[in-house]
């Protein structure tokens, strides 16, 4: 497969911006109306996700050995949209029709065959993993809300209990949907797995956000939500071995980091952990009680709060990573970073400039980008998702 050719043709298509998903979905829904029900009623946010992901994945098919784990996860995860094997050819047809439309004369039989082969490979992995997952886990779990606490105006902490055990690794995220909203978003359990199977979710309502607003403002104890298979390996502890850790969290990025702290506590390995947790103002440390309790209980844990907008220094924004770098040299540690895309982007740049290596930096942003695989080698491109 000529990956360079696939990538080059994809970049020509992607240059058409919003027109590309618009054409893709119109083609898909016209030819296969039965696929419409798999997508949200309001397609605005959906538009760029699937098509961007498809284009990236297929045009990186030469790195299939690295993509494979991600595609397997994605295939199993897509069962939550009621995607079945017969839908994959429909999506493939719409993708090829979209490419043909935007590539004009560049689209040749040869190139069509390259794209068809690449998509065929990707969909085969996804279909097979979805089938394999059938015997292991349900497409989604119904979960009851056991506790719903509004900690700040826009942040709620939910404790939920899935009807069957939902196994996950600290640092992963799970798909969450509300029965009244046909959309899924990822949220990161803020706990290590518990004997009673409950999960703690920290949700910030995004202005105009379909799912987060519902979870923060429109849910109560006793309501049911839906959860989907855990995804992600960017923030899991295994690549860090038994190294000491520096943890940088901001906003609800604290959720997966809290799960990591709980995991370290459970493993009782004696590693040292320094945690820097940031918020825009003092009143936004929505989980300070738990953090203080952890700091008091675990002698291996040192906590520093970083207030982003200090009223005493108006206009000056203090970044979590800058504070940590000013406090010490952590280059012997593995660093885990979670927060908004901006916070994560800033942290990774600052740490890299300060001499930290890509292999010791593990990060995940909560932003608008699609959920992508991790590229672990220093030379690999990081354009599949990058920071989210
Ligand atoms: C792997 C992963 C884990 C995540 N874990 C958490 C978590 O534990 N807690 C949590 O609160 N959130 C988390 N998020 C973000 C979450 O998945 C949603 O993106 C967010 O709640 C907004 O969803 P929505 O449906 O309410 O907004 P949408 O309806 O999708 O979007 C509404 C508007 O908000 C913008 N927008 C969407 N997402 C964001 C964002 N994250 N920041 C700023 N603007 C945005 C959109 O561009 C749009 O304009 C995570 C995201 C990822 C990718």
Domain borders along the chain are 3-134, 141-231, 238-365
DSSP secondary structure code for residue 332 in this structure: T
User: What's the CA-to-centroid distance between 187 and ligand 1, angstroms?
Assistant: 9
Nearest protein Cα to ligand 1, atom 15: 366
Q: Is 191 in the pocket of ligand 1 (CB under 6 A)?
A: no
Q: What is the pLDDT of residue 375?
A: 38
Q: What size, in residues, is the chain?
A: 388
Q: Does the structural domain 141-231 have CATH classification 3.10.310.50?
A: no
CATH architecture of 238-365: 3-Layer(aba) Sandwich (3.40)
What spatial distance separates the first Cα and last Cα of the chain, rounded to whole Å? Answer: 29
CATH of domain 3-134: 1.10.490.10
Exposed, middle or buried by CB within 10 Å (0-12, 13-18, 19+), for 296? exposed
CA 2 – CA 115 distance, rounded (Å)? 9
DSSP secondary structure code for residue 121 in this structure: H
367-382-326-275 Cα dihedral, nearest 10 degrees: 60
Q: What is the pLDDT of residue 311?
A: 62
Strand partners, 150: 156
**From first to last of its 388 residues, what are the pLDDT tens digits of the chain?**
788 899 899 999 989 988 998 999 999 999 999 888 888 777 766 666 677 777 777 777 777 777 788 788 888 888 888 888 999 999 999 999 999 999 999 999 999 999 999 999 889 999 999 999 998 889 999 999 999 999 999 999 999 999 999 999 999 999 999 988 878 899 999 999 999 999 999 999 999 999 999 999 999 999 999 999 888 888 999 999 999 999 999 999 999 999 999 999 999 888 999 999 999 999 999 999 999 999 999 999 999 999 986 666 667 788 999 999 999 999 999 999 999 999 999 999 999 999 999 999 999 987 755 455 443 322 222 332 222 2
Strand partners, 307: 279
* Angle between helix 19-31 and 47-59 (nearest 10): 90
Look up residue 233 and give its two tokens.
């390996």
The angle at the Cα of 87, spanning 84 to 88, to the nearest 5 degrees, equals 105
Nearest protein Cα to ligand 1, atom 33: 209
Q: Which of 156, 157, 209 to mutate to test the pocket of ligand 1 (most atoms within 8 A of CB)?
A: 209
The SS3 of residue 244 is coil
Note whether 182 and 40 are within 8 A (CB).
yes
Neighbours of 340 (CB within 10 A): 18
Q: What are phi and psi of 40, to 5 degrees?
A: -65, 155
């Amino acid at each position: 497969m000529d990956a360079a050719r696939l990538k080059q043709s994809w970049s020509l298509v992607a240059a058409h911006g919003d027109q590309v998903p618009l054409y893709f979905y119109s083609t898909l829904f016209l030819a296969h109306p039965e696929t419409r029900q798999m997508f949200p009623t309001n397609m605005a946010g959906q538009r760029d996700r699937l098509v961007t992901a498809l284009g990236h994945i297929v045009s990186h098919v030469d790195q299939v050995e690295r993509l494979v784990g991600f595609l397997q996860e994605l295939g199993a995860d897509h069962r939550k949209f009621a995607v079945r094997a017969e839908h994959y050819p429909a999506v493939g047809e719409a993708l090829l029709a979209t490419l043909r439309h935007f590539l004009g004369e560049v689209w040749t039989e040869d190139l069509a065959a390259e794209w068809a082969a690449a998509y065929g490979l990707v969909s085969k992995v996804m279909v097979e993993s979805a089938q394999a997952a059938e015997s292991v886990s349900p497409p989604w779990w119904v979960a009851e809300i056991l506790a719903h606490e509004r900690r700040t105006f826009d942040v709620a902490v939910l404790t939920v209990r899935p009807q069957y055990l939902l196994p996950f690794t600290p640092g992963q995220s799970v798909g969450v949907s509300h029965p009244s909203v046909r959309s899924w978003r990822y949220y990161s359990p803020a706990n290590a797995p518990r004997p009673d199977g409950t999960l703690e979710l920290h949700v910030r309502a995004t202005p105009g956000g379909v799912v987060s607003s519902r979870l923060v403002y429109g849910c109560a104890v006793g309501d049911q939500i839906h959860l989907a298979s855990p995804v992600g390996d960017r923030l899991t502890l295994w690549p860090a071995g038994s190294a000491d850790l520096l943890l940088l969290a901001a906003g609800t990025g604290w959720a997966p980091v809290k799960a990591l702290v709980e995991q370290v506590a459970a493993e009782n390995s004696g590693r040292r952990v320094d945690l820097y947790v940031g918020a825009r103002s003092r009143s936004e440390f929505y989980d300070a009680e738990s953090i203080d309790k952890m700091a008091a209980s675990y002698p291996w844990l040192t906590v520093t709060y970083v207030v982003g907008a200090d009223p005493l220094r108006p206009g000056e924004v203090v970044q979590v990573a800058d504070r940590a770098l000013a406090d010490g040299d952590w280059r012997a540690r593995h660093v885990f970073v979670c927060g908004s895309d901006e916070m994560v982007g800033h942290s990774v740049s600052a740490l890299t400039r300060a001499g930290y290596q890509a292999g010791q930096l593990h990060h995940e942003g909560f932003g608008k980008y699609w959920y992508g695989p991790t590229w672990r080698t220093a030379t690999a491109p990081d354009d599949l998702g990058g920071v989210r």
